[in-house]
Structure formats: structure tokens, C-alpha cells
Amino acid sequence: MNTFAKITATETKLFLRSPLMAVVGILLPSALLLGIGAIPGMTEPSEAAGGYRFIDAWVPSLIVVTLAALALQSIPGAVATYREQGVLRRLATTPAHPANLLGAQLLIHVVVALAGIGLVLGLADAVYDVPMPKHPLVFLLTLVLGVVSMFALGLVTASIARTAKSAGGLAMISFVPIMFFGGVYLPRPLLPEVLRRIGDYVPPGSQALQDAWVGTGVQPLQLVVLAGFAVAGTALAVRLFRWE
């Protein structure tokens, strides 16, 4: 087995031995969906939501929740813990490059995020009859850009946090705005116009996801901005990264 595969296998075991993040990432968004669906009126068409049901508008926001928890909270915490414990430095003294450890963490978190998102979409379809994306390919492309841009932001936090504690604090700087603009605290149709417009361009692109979903057509500029976040975030993370 090569180094990356071996490290990924070991990291997966460790991830599952402290399963809180896996449970949060996979089950929490679905639990929220069921909770919201249980609120009277959420599954009825609403004028304020432009004729859609609130539950429809919530699905992209639940994707935001999943990605925010895994990309903005979990990864920076994991990497900062390894930095704090000297694991990254220890690895740097072996023939295995510590970048393997980062790659393994990314892979595990992306897989969990996709599982969590898949479960939300499946449940939304099965329980609330939320129609599946009208433009599946555009939706997938948007989702990929959304996932990459969010993990890029998470890696910036992971690069600069020296300890797990400071990672938790630093993560909030991106976590709270992302959740807010993603319509998690207040459904996006209820946000003031100007905030909603800003939110259109904030990762993971919940408006673009929504548009691809209902088939109204995605604004290319929104995708370009997402890609910009992905590239700039990754470049910044690489620049700022410290093994210790």
C-alpha cells in the first residue's frame, strides 16, 4: 500500500473512532430538514418565498450547514490538533511528506460532506417531495465549486491556527457569515435585498445551487466568484501553511 493510501486508511479509522463529526456532518442536516418540515406552514407555498415552499428554499441552506460544519469547523480543528501535538512535525522527519496527512483529511471530509448532502437530498425528495434538480449537471458543477471553495476557506483557517482552541475561534470568522448569507439563520427570501445580493456570491453559492435546482438558470458570474474563492483560498492556505 502506498503512503497516501496507508495514511488515509489510518486517518479514516481515527475519524470513525471519534464519530461526532461524522454524525454531525451526515445526520445533522437531515435532522434539521425533518425538524423544519414538522413546523406548520413550511411545506405550503408561500408568497414571501416567491411562490415556493419554505422547505424548498431550505434544502440549499442545509447544504451550507453540512459544508460549514465539515469544511470550516472540522478540518481546521483536526489539522490544528495535529500541529499542536507535533504530529505534522514528527511526520516531516520521516520519508512521508505531511501533505499526505492533509490530503487524507480533505478526502475523508469531502466524502462525509457528500454523504451528508446526498442524504438530505434523498430525504427531501422522499419525504417532502422536493423535486430533484432540474439541471443536474449544472447543479453538480455548482456543488463541486461550492465544496471546493468552502474547503479552501477551511484550509486558510487550518493553515494559521496554532492550536485546536484557536482553530475553533478563527473558524467562527468564516462560519457565522457563511451560515448567515447561506440562509441558515433566516431563510434567504426573507433577507433584505442588499444582503441577499451579497449572499449570491458567498460560498458555497446557495443561490446558484437553488437556481440550478429549480431550473431558472445559474448566473455565470456567481460560479466565477465561487471559483475565485476556491483558487484564492487555496493559494492563501498554501502560502500561510506552517508545519508547526
Partner 1 sequence: MPLIEVTDLRKCYGTRVAVDGVSFTVERGEIFGILGTNGAGKTTTVECLQGLRAADGGTMSVLGLDPATDRTALTRRVGVQLQESQLPPKLRVREALELFASFYPEPADLDVLLGQLDLRDHARSFFGKLSGGQKQRVSIALALVGRPELAILDELTTGLDPHARRETWRLVEGVRATGVTVLLVTHFMDEAERLCDRVAIFDAGRVVATGTPAELRAAAGASTLDDAFVSLTRSAR
Q: Which residues bind partner 1 (CB under 8 A)?
A: 1, 3, 6-7, 10, 13-14, 17-18, 82, 85-87, 89-90, 92-96
User: Between the CA of residue 228 and those of 77, 153, 202, 209, what are the distances in Å?
Assistant: 24, 11, 11, 17
Burial (0-12, 13-18, 19+ Cβ within 10 Å), 17: exposed
CA 42 → CA 56, 61, 128, 130, 213, distances in Å?
A: 9, 14, 10, 12, 18
Closest CB to partner 1 among 6 and 197?
6
Asked if 153 and 70 touch (Cβ cutoff 8 Å), the reply is no
Of 33 and 101, which has the nearer Cβ to partner 1?
A: 101
| Nearest-approach distance from CB 1 to partner 1, in angstroms | 6
CA 100: distance to chain centroid?
21
Least distance (Å) from partner 1 to the CB of residue 110?
Answer: 20
Toward partner 1, which CB reaches closer, 95 or 220?
95
Question: Which residue number, 87 or 111, has a Cβ lying nearer to partner 1?
Answer: 87
CB of 7 to partner 1, least distance (A): 7
Closest approach of partner 1 to the CB of residue 239, in Å: 18
